[in-house]
Every structure is written in C-alpha cells, then in structure tokens.
Structure 1
Amino acid sequence: MTTAALGRIGLGIEADDTRAAQHAAEVFGLGYTGLWVMSGQLRTLRILADLVRATRAAVVAPAIIQLDRFSPEQITALFDEVEAEAPGRLLAGFGGLQAQPVAATRERLEGFDGRIPASRRLLAALGPRKLDAAREVSAGAITMFTSPEFTAAARRRLGADATLVVCQRIALDDDRSRARETLRGPLRNLLGMPGSGYAANMRRMGFGDADISGLSDRLVDAVASGGDPGTVAADVRAHLEAGADHVVLAAQTDGRQPGTIELARALAAPLGL
C-alpha cells in the first residue's frame, strides 16, 4: 500500500446504510479515492468486501477494526478473500487492545506478519507510544479529533515515510454555532469513555480542564470542522498542509446537517476533486 494509492481525500461510509455499496460507487466517481467504514458501525467485516466489489479501484479501509472485537482468524480470512479478488485494495486500520499495554497491541499486530503485511496495516494512535508503534509495526497512524498542530507533531514523530491519516468529523452547516453543538455529541461521548485517551490528548494539545469539561468553542473548532463548504475545505487543507497524507471526511449530523452522500457531493468541488 502506498500513499499515492490511497489518495488525498477519503470519505467515511455509513455501514448500516442499505445503499452503502450504491453510494460507494458514486463517491468514487466524485473523486474520493478512499472509502472508510467508521468503527462504531463496524459490526461485521463483510461490509469491507462489499465496498471493494462496489467500486473499480477505490481503497477500502475500516477506521477501525477493534482488535478486542474480531479475532485474528476472522480478520485474516477476510483479508485473504478480498486480496484474491482485488489485490492491493483493502487496507486494515486497527484499534489498540483496550485496557492493555501498548506492547500487547504491538504483539497482536506483529502476529499478522506473513498474512497482512505491515505495509497494509494502520494503527489508531494519539499518544507518543502508540505513534511509535504505528511507525514500527504498521504503515502509519490514524488520528481523530486532532488539530492541524497535532498533525504536524504526529508527522514529525512518525517520520517522512509513514502514512498519516486524519479522520475529520464534519458538521456542514451555515450556522456555525449549530454545527459546533452537533460536533459536541461525539466529542462528549469519547471524552467520557474510560481509557479512551482523548482527554489526555486534548491536554497534550494545550487545552485546559475548562475547555475539555465544557467543550469550548475553541476546542471544537480546533479538533473538528463545522461551517459552510468553504470553511470545511479550508480545515481539511490545513491538515494536509500540516503533514497528513490522507484526510477522511466523516459526516456528523443531528438531522439538520447533510449526511454522508450529501456531504460528499457538497465538498467535491471546494476540495478540487
């Protein structure tokens, strides 16, 4: 897997949408080269094979496969199946083993050697040790709810050769205040999860307890993107300019903002796809 094959801009796909495969074909036609299934929706690995079959050349990836949820045998069986049909088009994005040392995640990823090459693996990483593991036992890292300044620091830590994927949560809305409130939903959930690492990473990015507990406008604007298409496109470009190889656009909506396919259509032109 190369950064060139992954392309610059991808889209988070809603796996539980019965039209996911149909949407995948349209999204690829719009110029999005990476199709990502977001972790909260990944109840089965079959959606990954379905999305590969729905397009001619898009790279398909989970963001992320939870190593606690799926066994190595399940993961490698799917990888072997897809690789036989469409070589090089499935990228495995992994989440670390929960409540276990980083060394355990390293060991699990190294266990895929010979079945899923390190060049086709990415690791969700925020802290320094996870970023080091992403560099050393995979092709690179996936981050989410991070600022462009964090992206620049992650790029320095990973080095020039590793792949850095940024998942950008987006509420497309001309009302910036309403967009922020929509984005606070997933942020509040993640920050409240014990051991998630997001609160610690907010502090590493320079946010204080008041910013984190109150989900201040400053914090939300830094780690997610809410606003009109021009504002969102500028936020995406900021991560690319800071060192991201690929940015995944993940729609966030409370019912008033566009969903996945509408977001893809709205941002294709502002992003130059």
Structure 2
Amino acid sequence: MNTAISTELGDFGVLSCIGRRPPAEQAAAARRWEAAGAETIWLGGSSVLWETEAILDATTPQVTVGTAIQSIWDCTPQVTASRFASLEEQHPGRILLGLGVSHQETTPAYHSPCEVMAQYLDALNEAGVPKERRILGALGPQMLDLARQEAAGALPYLVTVNQVSHMRERLGDALLACELGVVLETDPQRARELARQDLQIYLQLSNYRRSWRRAGFLPADLADGGSDHLVDSLYAWGSTDQIRNRIDALRAAGAHHVAVQLITGSHHTQLPDPAREQQLTALFT
C-alpha cells in the first residue's frame, strides 16, 4: 500500500454532494469540516474534478479532496488528465481522482465496464496521471483487481462490514476507503425510513443488486424498499457512540479510511442544518 496516501486521507472524511452548490457555500462547509477534524473531503455524486476548486482554495494543504465518483463516461481521459495537471500545479498532492463506471441503467454508452475502465486508466498513464493519485469506485472482483493493480485502491459505496473484509483480502495492501451512510436518528422507524429514501434509487441499479447478492442477501431483502437487515447492514444509525462503533467495525475489517455521508432525507446537494452538522462533526472528535 502507498502508506503516504493512507496517512493523507486520515481515519475519517466527509462525503457530500456539495459540488453543485455555490462556491461560497462549498467553501464555508469545507472550512467547518476541516475545523472539526476531517482530513479528507469527498465530493459525492457524479462529481468531476473542476467541482473541487472552491474546496481546495478554502482549506489548508493538510486536507485531501477526492471525487466520489467521477464517471469515466462524462469526460475523456485527456480532459481529465489536463484538469488534474492544472489542479495539481495549484494544489500539489491534494487531489485524489475517484473514478467509476456509473450504471448500466443510467448511462446510454455503458458497455464492457472493466475493459473500458482499463483503457481509460491506460490513457491516464500515458498522460502522466500517477496511479497513486486515483482510486476506483469498485464493487466486483474484476474492478477490485484493477483498483489494486492500476490505482491506489478502491472506494466502495453501500457495503457491509463483511464485504469490506472480503475486499481487503482481494485488494491486498492497496488502499481501501469505504463510504458509510449515517442517519443521526435514534428511533428505529424514523432512521430506517430516511435510509430507505436514500437507498431507493440504488435498489434499481443492477451493479448494486449484484454486489448485495454476492454478499448473501436474498431477493426478499432487495424488495419493498429493502429489508431491515439490508438497511441496518448498509447504514449506521443511532447515537454517536453507535455510529462510531460501526466506523470502528469497518476499520477492523480492513478499511483504512471511512467517508461518512450524512443521510437526512433531503436532496443530497442541500447542506445539513447546523444541529445535524454539529452531530456529524462530533464523530471526528
């Protein structure tokens, strides 16, 4: 593993879809998260490199900023490499380029995902984007192999503790950073309701369904908004201590870094209210 990259990311980070918010709001949120102890800020959604600039400018050189995840169908490798080089010149060593193949259901050009990703990474090699500055949104074994061989590692999304353990075995010493959806509600019914609102779109996507079936979930777990077992395995909810326990379990299973995403039921590009944000940042202290 590239230990420098793992150290730069820190134990925890914040994942938020604030890349589409006005730059001043992005900058203010990023400064709050850094002050609370987050060492990495991940731009969620189909983020692209040029959405990172306001956050890079607003935070200190100790903060890493990653895309989580930029679809390889949205930008050619040449455009991505050019933008990476520009940002790297201004903010050396602070960008982690998260790349993914998106979803068959939402991407008209989708085909041969592992083959196309391998070609994309070859083109980035030719353009001078270092392997250690990129990470793949990998779930399946072939993409995890690419993440180990051609990138710093993997950033899987919506995975269980047990899946993280198996991914660690597949990745060897490569970086493993995983997303964790966090619902700051102690009432089980309300917490699961909010989690299911977030989960709804992913239940329609074949790559996630395959991932969960490989993990041992049954068809019934994926029906009717997801079973309690599925929801509780994919999301952390409850008190701050309960959520910290899940983070600790992910790290014990082999995750070097956990990217915490606050799930509120509101649109992901909205910033959390101050009380919820304070609870979120309490996780880092």
**Structure 1 length normalisation: TM-score?**
0.91
Q: Is 1:239 aligned to residue 245 of structure 2?
A: no
* Mapping of residues 87-166 of structure 1, within 5 Å: 87-96=92-101, 98-113=110-125, 114-159=127-172, 161-166=173-178
Query: How well do the aligned residues superpose, as a CA RMSD in angstroms?
Result: 2.0
Number of residue-to-residue matches in the alignment: 266
Alignment CA distance shift 1:21-1:230 (3 Å): same
Query: How big is the shift at 1:92?
Result: 0.2
Q: Is 1:53 aligned to residue 66 of structure 2?
A: no
Partner Cα separation in structure 1 for residue 138 and residue 31 of structure 2: 30
Amino acid at match of 1:140: G
* SS in structure 2 at match of 1:254: coil
Query: How big is the shift at 1:103?
Result: 1.8
Partner Cα separation in structure 1 for residue 232 and residue 272 of structure 2: 20
Is 2:49–2:97's contact at 8 Å kept on the other side of the alignment?
no
Amino acid at match of 1:76: A
Partner Cα separation in structure 2 for residue 233 and residue 260 of structure 1: 21
* SS in structure 2 at match of 1:32: coil
Amino acid at match of 1:47: E
Which of 213, 220, 223 matches 2:231? 220
Tell which deviates more after alignment, 45-54 or 216-225. Answer: 45-54
Amino acid at match of 1:232: I
Q: Is 1:5 aligned to residue 22 of structure 2?
A: no
Is 2:195–2:265's contact at 8 Å kept on the other side of the alignment?
no
Is 2:12–2:260's contact at 8 Å kept on the other side of the alignment?
yes
Q: Is 1:265 aligned to residue 270 of structure 2?
A: no
* SS in structure 1 at match of 2:229: helix
Query: How big is the shift at 1:77?
Result: 2.1
Partner Cα separation in structure 2 for residue 109 and residue 31 of structure 1: 32
Which of 74, 80, 83 matches 1:78? 83
Query: How big is the shift at 1:27?
Result: 0.6
1:17 corresponds in structure 2 to 21
Stretches of 4+ aligned residues off by more than 3 angstroms: 260-264
Tell which deviates more after alignment, 83-92 or 224-233. Answer: 224-233
Tell which deviates more after alignment, 93-102 or 116-125. Answer: 93-102
* SS in structure 2 at match of 1:83: helix
Query: How big is the shift at 1:4?
Result: 0.3
Unaligned 5+ residue runs, structure 2?
Answer: 103-109
Is 1:250–1:260's contact at 8 Å kept on the other side of the alignment?
no
Q: Is 1:198 aligned to residue 208 of structure 2?
A: yes
Note the alpha carbon deviations across 1:139-163, whole angstroms, 9 max, x for none. Answer: 100111111111011001100x200
Query: How big is the shift at 1:263?
Result: 4.5
Is 1:12–1:260's contact at 8 Å kept on the other side of the alignment?
no
Partner Cα separation in structure 1 for residue 157 and residue 238 of structure 2: 18
Q: Is 1:179 aligned to residue 191 of structure 2?
A: yes
Unaligned 5+ residue runs, structure 1?
Answer: none
Tell which deviates more after alignment, 69-78 or 199-208. Answer: 69-78
